[in-house]
Structure 1
Amino acid sequence: MSQARWTGERADMLPEIAAAVGFLSSLLRTRGCVSEQRLRVFSRALQEALTEHYKHHWFPEKPSKGSGYRCIRINHKMDPIISKVASQIGLSQPQLHRLLPSELTLWVDPYEVSYRIGEDGSICVLYEEAPVAASYGLLTCKNQMMLGRSSPSKNYVMAVSS
């Protein structure tokens, strides 16, 4: 498996893809119909497929750019990447539809992976990491000051009396 790294300060997408793959594998695991061996093969193949699929659509400096392309979607129709990988372990379309929610949206973005089950479901975060600023030159004056502070700032109120 290739380690996906491109330009940018934190361009590798492995933690995000691992979170997405782990989530989808756990959905298959909870139904108990897929052996651990097949789940391992599925997880490896899905990680490789997503890494390749996202290769030119991963923008850590603009995490929302390309989000629609990276979105994994099941809407009574199976996402083609999941479908292709599942066929490698012998899962048919009808089996997949029985094992996975009929409505699932999984967003795999730099620094955050989240999902929603159902059209009106709550959005749940699976993975979150704070972006790291590339250099002090990109930070605001306030953020530069906050980096050097070891304790939280104190709030002061200025009052003027006449």
Structure 2
Amino acid sequence: MKEEVETGVGFITRLVNRHERLDKRQVERFGEQLTAILCERFSKHWYPETPLKGQAYRCIRINRRHQVDDSLLKACRDCGLKYSELALPREITIWIDPGEVSCRLGENNRFFTVKSEESRSGKATPETETSDYHSESPSECSSEDEWLTKPPPEASGLSKTPLGRKNKQQAAQYFYMPAPLWVPYPPSMVSYVPAYHPLTLYYVDIASKPPVARKPNPNLVKRLTKRASKA
């Protein structure tokens, strides 16, 4: 248990001192106090045969709802540091389990395995060297804004199996496709609309009788002849 606790505390101290603004002796003192506090805290909740048992109790979690961890706060008081001086990421979750220490930066990001100091110095086995690259240097995680996105709504409690930690298979995604809606109407609401057919006109050419030729009026002819002669 002490080995896993020291690995987790070492990762936290590297995060705390990533900007090198604190005194080195204070950081070491903080790590010693935190190691003692976590060992006492986990002593009755450590199950090597079933690592998942008690995982929620051994979790160090900081987010928007829980901005202060009790163990970190107690270690700060014992070594004379202010909790705000730690400058930890706004959202971080650390699982200290038998045989493995994992971390997740942000509520909706993937977890990664934290390496110990020996494995980081090159003494680790090939299996541990294939650990996620995020645990190599905490200074690469100094800008938590790069890791944090809008977190989803959180549950009331912390599940023993964290999101994406033990189950590496991505959950299936379902998309809602609205189906067409058919609204039944009662028979009384259905009415018949009269349809007007177009009116077709037919032109019938009926042959009319030819006009009757009229005979010229002899009196009219005489008057017209007299007028023409006078002119």
Where on the TM-score scale, by shorter chain, does this alignment land: which range?
0.5 to 0.7
| Residue of structure 2 equivalent to 1:84 | 74
Q: Residues 16-35 of structure 1 correspond to what in structure 2 (within 5 A)?
A: 16-35=4-23
Q: Residues 12-51 of structure 1 correspond to what in structure 2 (within 5 A)?
A: 13-51=1-39
- What is the CA–CA distance in structure 1 between the aligned matches of 2:68 and 2:28, rounded to whole Å? 20
Determine whether 1:93 maps to 2:75: no
Runs of 4+ with deviation above 3 angstroms: 127-130
By percentage of residues, which structure has more helix? Answer: 1
Q: Secondary structure at the match of 1:67?
A: coil
- What is the CA–CA distance in structure 2 between the aligned matches of 1:74 and 1:84, rounded to whole Å? 15
Contact (CA 8 Å) 2:59, 2:95: kept in 1 or not? yes
- What is the CA–CA distance in structure 2 between the aligned matches of 1:111 and 1:14, rounded to whole Å? 11
- Kindly, what percent of the aligned residue pairs are identical? 36
**Residue type of the alignment partner of 1:30:** R
Question: Structure 1: which 5+ runs fail to align?
Answer: 1-12, 131-162
By percentage of residues, which structure has more strand? Answer: 1
Question: Structure 2: which 5+ runs fail to align?
Answer: 117-124, 128-231
**Residue type of the alignment partner of 2:75:** V
TM-score, with normalisation over the residues of structure 1? 0.67
Q: Secondary structure at the match of 1:52?
A: helix
> What is the aligned-residue RMSD (CA, Å)?
1.9
Number of residues paired by the alignment? 116
| Residues 30 and 127 of structure 1: CA distance in aligned 2, closer, same or farther (over 3 Å) | closer
- What is the CA–CA distance in structure 1 between the aligned matches of 2:73 and 2:17, rounded to whole Å? 16
